[in-house]
Amino acid sequence: MIVEVTSLIGSITLFVLTIFLGFELITKVPSLLHTPLMSGANAISGISVVGALILSNVAFNSDGNPLSVWLAFIALILAMINVVGGFAVTNRMLNMIAGRRKGGA
């Protein structure tokens, strides 16, 4: 697969801009909204899991390079780690908030 220089420069530019946008968004979020933000990030990670599953299926069924099968599998594993870890952190944050309300009231 041949990648044109203009396409590569456009992709790198988009990647760098998304890094800056993500950093600005995360730093501006008040602490009260961190739990809903984590829940939204978990939903996005769930979409990544579906995409990794589709990618795994395409890579496995197209008798191509076995490297693509392994990369798709690694993408699936990393996306699942992100989902499970995100839900664990969200659950812990919600338990901390619920514990404060029960003890203080």
Answer whether residue 60 is part of any domain: yes
Q: What angle do CA 45, 41, 49 make, to 5 degrees?
A: 5
- Residue 18 counted as domain residue: no
User: Is 63 part of any domain?
Assistant: yes
64 domain residue, yes or no? yes
Residue 101 binned pLDDT confidence (cut-offs 50, 70, 90): low
Asked whether residue 79 is domain-assigned, the answer is yes
Q: Which residues of 17-55 are buried (b: 16+ CB within 10 A; e: fewer)?
A: eeeeeeeeeeeeeeeeeebeebeebbeebbebbeebeeb
Q: Is residue 14 part of a domain?
A: no
The total domain count for the chain is: 1
Could you tell me the CA-to-CA distances from 31 to 27, 28, 37, 66, 100 in Å, in that order? 10, 9, 10, 45, 16
Range of the domain at 59: 32-104
* pLDDT tens track for 47-91: 888 888 888 888 878 776 788 788 888 988 988 888 888 888 778
Q: Is residue 88 part of a domain?
A: yes
Residue 72 covered by a domain: yes
